[in-house]
């Protein structure tokens, strides 16, 4: 693309800091990669990708919804290997998600580079309102605000936000060749009987005035699939190209392309209308493909990033959430973009560009919480004041969670977790926690949102004393909250907690330090498939993915703390008989 909206030129900056890479920063230049790209490139909950090239560096920004800090930015130099680099919305002056409903918060960031700056626009959704489903009637009132932040460094401090508008979501900033800038976003029509997804609107942005100026114009009404969203504009060979998502972010998702000689249209649709979709191909691994963005390599190759889902084979549910894939594309002689084979199908492999191999150090499986900062793989929920929830210095070498509100609270919930990024995994921790009464709990949690989780927790009651049990919140059951019988625990001893997930099967185990040599398995098998977008009652937003982590509650308001010595997360192959395995072969105990 011959535009500064999606990629920088030869003088674009590299990241201000970079971890030492396996390919080496000195000596002979590494040869071009010969291995194909394996999709998804960003596994686990990483939806709504926006990609930009700045010099030799590529960055993908993805949505984080109610998780804090906001927006994930991954970095690559060869499109094959990626590392999580930064989360730019990390302070209260930029983002406050307290009270944001589940699957609201930060939607669909757009990352661009121009004029020596990185530009990031995003939506903060405050109310979801009535969903758009068959049979729904009446108004659908939603609140979403679109913002702009900038930074000269991708991993530096980003500016405080400029509010752009509130008329829709999925904003994208286009930098035209004459230096003018334009915002496009989908337009939300709340009126009863109208198409909620009313089209793509364009309006000029004034850098000098720091606001949108001129008339807002609807430049594209969408395709027959409906649910028109996720717009991105590009300029190539005298044409303006408009990329959109169609069909909603479920099984009917698709990528559409239109073009015009004039910025404000009219736009004509691609001859095939949709350039990528899995909606008619249940046989392909990557489903739900849509919400795409384009990037051009240094050598003129075009790649498209898009979100996708990998459903469990025997459940049809995507516990890993919406992930990010990338696919090589080709421009035809007719000036239209297509997949390499012309079929418009998402693929698990795609040819890599002719770029030097650039790998990154492997993330350690075990975090011992010895540093004063939370490891980058972990996030918390909603609040820009994490010191109210946890500390890594109150007891050095431990993550201390302060007991706060109920699990699932939309305000101050002490829950620190990382993404589930594989269908089969082992995770474990050890917690030092002595609850005084039934309103204090702490433990290991597998969490999707306030209505979907399995929580192996320690608590206390007057009869049994300190004990262990599982609370499950199950959205597709007549009784949504389910508890296992309590298991008595000795006081004064840390307790090791463990979870094993194999596709839809989830098992918990525990071991009391200084008492038990081997793990004790809970007899129940839990349904991991509820930790997915698809497990829900109609009308609720479900756009994130499964997390595994640590939590602590104190409903009496006394902030009773729980100290976690480590957290271990290991992806692995499928195991048919999980509980029959010897624990010490697979997870360290302390």
pLDDT in tens, 280-306: 999 999 999 999 999 999 999 999 999
Please indicate, yes or no, whether the overall pTM of this predicted structure exceeds 0.75.
yes
Strands 452-461 and 399-402: unpaired
Domain boundaries, the chain: 46-284, 366-585
Write down the pLDDT at residue 480: 83
Class of domain 46-284: mainly beta
Is residue 301 a contact partner of residue 353, using CB atoms and an 8 Å limit? yes
Residue 11 has pLDDT above 50, yes or no: no
Bridge partners of 201, per DSSP, are 185, 218
Mean pLDDT of 10-34: 49
pLDDT tens per residue across span 488-501: 999 999 999 999 99
**Closest Cα partner for 391 from 377, 403, 406?**
403
pLDDT tens per residue across span 368-385: 999 999 999 999 999 999
Write down the pLDDT at residue 10: 32
Q: What span, in angstroms and rounded, lies between the C-alpha atoms of 327 and 341?
A: 11
Q: What span, in angstroms and rounded, lies between the C-alpha atoms of 504 and 481?
A: 19
What residue has token string 């998780």?
67
Fold held by 366-585: Jelly Rolls (2.60.120)
| Residue 345 vs residue 133, higher pLDDT | 345
Write down the pLDDT at residue 16: 38
Q: List phi, psi (to 5°) of 386.
A: -65, -25
pLDDT tens per residue across span 68-127: 999 999 999 999 999 999 999 999 999 999 999 999 999 999 999 999 999 999 999 999
Cβ atoms within 10 A of the Cβ of 483, count? Answer: 10
Q: What span, in angstroms and rounded, lies between the C-alpha atoms of 264 and 79?
A: 33
Count of positions (residues) in the chain: 590
Q: What span, in angstroms and rounded, lies between the C-alpha atoms of 225 and 223?
A: 5
Write down the pLDDT at residue 537: 82
**Closest Cα partner for 565 from 488, 495, 468?**
495
Residues with a known catalytic role: 48, 229
Please measure the distance between the N-terminal and C-terminal CA atoms of the chain and give it in whole angstroms.
53
**Closest Cα partner for 568 from 358, 309, 375?**
375
Residue 18 has pLDDT above 50, yes or no: no
| Residue 31 vs residue 272, higher pLDDT | 272
- The DSSP secondary structure of 493-555, one letter per residue, reads --EEEEEEEETTEEEEEEEETTT-SS-EE-S--EEGGGSSSSSS-TT-------EEEEEEEET
């Amino acid at each position: 693309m011959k535009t500064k909206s999606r990629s920088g030129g030869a003088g674009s900056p590299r990241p201000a800091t970079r971890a030492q890479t396996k390919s080496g920063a000195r000596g002979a230049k590494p040869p071009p990669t010969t291995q194909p790209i394996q999709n998804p490139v960003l596994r686990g909950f990483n939806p709504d990708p926006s990609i930009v090239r700045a010099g030799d560096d590529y960055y993908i920004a993805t949505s984080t919804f109610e998780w804090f800090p906001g927006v994930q930015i991954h970095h690559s130099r060869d499109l094959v290997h990626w590392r999580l680099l930064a989360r730019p919305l990390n302070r209260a002056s930029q983002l406050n998600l307290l009270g944001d409903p589940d699957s609201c918060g930060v939607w669909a960031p757009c990352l661009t580079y121009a004029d020596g700056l990185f530009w990031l626009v995003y939506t903060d959704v405050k109310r979801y309102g009535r969903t758009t489903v068959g049979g729904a009637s009446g108004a659908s009132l939603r609140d979403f605000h679109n913002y702009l932040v900038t930074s000269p460094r991708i991993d530096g401090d980003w500016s405080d936000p400029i509010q752009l508008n509130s008329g829709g979501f999925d904003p994208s900033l286009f930098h035209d060749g004459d230096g003018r800038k334009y915002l496009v976003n989908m337009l939300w029509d709340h009126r009863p009987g109208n198409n909620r997804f009313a089209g793509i609107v364009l309006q000029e942005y004034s850098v000098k005035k720091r606001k949108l100026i001129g008339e807002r114009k609807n430049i594209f009404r969408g395709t027959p699939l409906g649910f028109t969203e996720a717009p991105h504009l590009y300029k190539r060979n005298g044409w303006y190209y408009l990329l959109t998502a169609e069909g909603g972010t479920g099984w009917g998702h698709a990528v559409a392309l239109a073009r015009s000689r004039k910025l404000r249209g009219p736009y004509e649709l691609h001859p095939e209308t949709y350039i990528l979709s899995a909606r008619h191909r249940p046989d392909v691994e990557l489903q739900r493909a849509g919400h795409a963005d384009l990037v051009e390599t240094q050598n003129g190759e075009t790649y498209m990033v898009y979100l996708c889902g990998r459903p469990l084979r025997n459940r049809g549910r995507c516990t890993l959430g919406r992930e990010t894939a990338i696919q090589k594309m080709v421009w035809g002689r007719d000036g239209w973009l297509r997949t390499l084979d012309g079929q418009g199908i998402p693929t698990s492999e795609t040819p890599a560009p002719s770029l030097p191999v650039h790998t990154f150090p492997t993330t350690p499986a075990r975090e011992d919480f010895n540093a004063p900062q939370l490891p980058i793989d972990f996030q918390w929920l909603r609040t820009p004041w994490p010191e109210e929830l946890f500390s890594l210095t109150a007891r050095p070498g431990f993550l201390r969670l302060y007991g706060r509100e109920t699990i699932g609270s939309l305000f101050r919930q002490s829950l620190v977790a990382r993404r589930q990024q594989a269908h089969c995994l082992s995770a474990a921790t050890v917690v030092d926690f002595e609850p005084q009464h039934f309103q204090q709990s702490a433990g290991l949690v597998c969490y999707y949102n306030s209505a979907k989780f399995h929580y192996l927790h320690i608590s206390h009651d007057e009869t049994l004393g300190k004990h262990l049990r599982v609370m499950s919140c199950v959205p597709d059951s007549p009784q949504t909250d389910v508890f296992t019988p309590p298991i008595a625990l000795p006081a004064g001893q840390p307790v090791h907690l463990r979870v094993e997930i194999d596709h839809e099967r989830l098992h918990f185990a525990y071991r009391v330090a200084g008492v038990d040599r081997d793990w004790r398995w809970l007899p129940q098998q839990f349904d991991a498939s509820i930790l997915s977008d698809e497990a829900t009652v109609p009308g609720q937003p479900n756009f994130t993915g499964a997390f595994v982590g640590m939590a602590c509650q104190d409903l009496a308001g006394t902030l009773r703390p729980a100290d976690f010595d480590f957290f271990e997360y290991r992806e692995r192959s499928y195991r048919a008989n999980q509980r029959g395995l010897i624990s010490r072969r697979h997870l360290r105990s302390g």
